């Protein structure tokens, strides 16, 4: 299980404040720190479409597969929000498109929700395609 982290670090991930993240990690905060719902720093950066922050967190060793308490992954939230570049990076880092959350939805299902769903569903393979 991953440890919870400070509200400041959670905000830094959402806002793309890499310097604040570096300072937090230097002070001993975990790279896979999460909020009270299990959403990790990588999840929050992916949700915000912060590609530079996603890159930084991956290079710092963030787990691409760590999910929230509901079973949602960074790939799922990036797909749901239509962040194409983030989705491509997470897939390149080994994110599984086959994982399902506790309601049985996977990244391909989430990819059908944003306004660019045609692009997203083509990018994220379904479990049937795999």
* Distance of alpha carbon 78 from alpha carbon 1, whole angstroms: 22
Range of the domain at 61: 7-123
Q: Provide the number of structural domains found in the chain.
A: 1
Residue 2 lies in a domain: no
Residue 1 lies in a domain: no
Instruction: Report pLDDT digits (tens) over 21-54.
Output: 999 999 999 999 999 999 999 999 999 999 999 9
Question: What does the mean pLDDT of the chain come to?
Answer: 91
CATH classification at residue 53:
1.25.40.20
* Distance of alpha carbon 70 from alpha carbon 99, whole angstroms: 12
pTM attached to this predicted model: 0.90
Residue 128 lies in a domain: no
Residue 118 lies in a domain: yes
Residue 77's SS3 state is helix
Instruction: Report pLDDT digits (tens) over 73-90.
Output: 999 999 999 999 999 999
Residue 130 lies in a domain: no
């Amino acid at each position: 299980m991953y440890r919870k982290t400070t509200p400041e670090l959670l905000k830094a991930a959402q806002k793309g404040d890499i310097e604040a993240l570096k300072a937090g990690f230097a002070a001993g905060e975990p790279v896979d720190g999460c909020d009270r719902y299990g959403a990790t720093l990588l999840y929050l950066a992916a949700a915000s479409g912060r590609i530079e922050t996603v890159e930084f967190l991956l290079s710092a060793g963030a787990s691409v597969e760590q999910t929230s308490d509901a079973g949602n992954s960074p790939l799922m939230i990036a797909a749901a929000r239509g962040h194409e570049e983030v989705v491509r990076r997470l897939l390149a880092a080994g994110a599984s498109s086959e994982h399902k959350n506790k309601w049985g939805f996977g990244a391909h299902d989430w990819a059908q929700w944003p306004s660019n769903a045609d692009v997203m569903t083509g990018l994220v393979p379904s479990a049937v395609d795999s």
